[in-house]
């Protein structure tokens, strides 16, 4: 599933969602040659909880075409504010450090993959 790091030889993709924090977000956004798909969520949000399994399933299906990450808007309020998150769940696609798409609300697996398709390049 994807390649390995040239320096440390660790696998680059594991089929698991990355947790975004203030300390690692910029690196993921700016140093990635592939799109980064971000699920902005909170633990108290029912729709966010219902979408989580879909997000994880699509991560396993579509990596390494994109990196999939989750942003807890409660624990990372400054980062969420930087992206002007007004409602959750909100999905954001970042390419080379810039936001290229945004979608609020829950989607089915099929809807989610269809929304992603134009940004994944393959």
Instruction: Enumerate the active-site residues.
Output: 45, 48
Q: What is the tally of structural domains in the chain?
A: 1
Within-domain flag for 5:
no
Within-domain flag for 10:
no
Domain residues for the domain of 35 are 18-115
Within-domain flag for 121:
no
Secondary structure, 3-state, the chain: CCCECCCCCCECCCCCCEECCCCCHHHHHHCCCCCEEEEEECCCCHHHHHHHHHHHHHHHHHCCCCEEEEEECCCCHHHHHHCCCCCCCEEEEEECCEEEEEEECCCCHHHHHHHHHHHHCC
What's the average model confidence in pLDDT over 23-44?
Answer: 87
Span 55-97, pLDDT tens digits = 999 999 998 899 999 999 999 999 999 999 999 999 999 998 8
Within-domain flag for 38:
yes
Span 98-108, pLDDT tens digits = 999 999 999 99
pLDDT value for 23: 82
Within-domain flag for 8:
no
């Amino acid at each position: 599933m994807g390649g390995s790091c040239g320096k440390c030889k660790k696998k680059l993709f594991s089929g698991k969602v990355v947790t975004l924090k203030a300390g690692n977000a910029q690196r993921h956004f700016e140093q990635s040659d592939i799109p980064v798909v971000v699920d902005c969520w909170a633990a108290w949000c029912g729709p966010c909880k219902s979408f989580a399994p879909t997000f994880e399933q699509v991560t396993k299906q579509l990596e390494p075409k994109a990196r999939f990450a989750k942003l807890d808007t409660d624990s990372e309020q400054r980062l969420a504010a930087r992206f002007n998150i007004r409602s959750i769940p909100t999905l954001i696609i970042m390419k080379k450090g810039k936001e290229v798409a945004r979608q609020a609300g829950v989607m089915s697996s099929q809807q989610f993959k269809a929304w992603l398709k134009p940004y994944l390049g393959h």
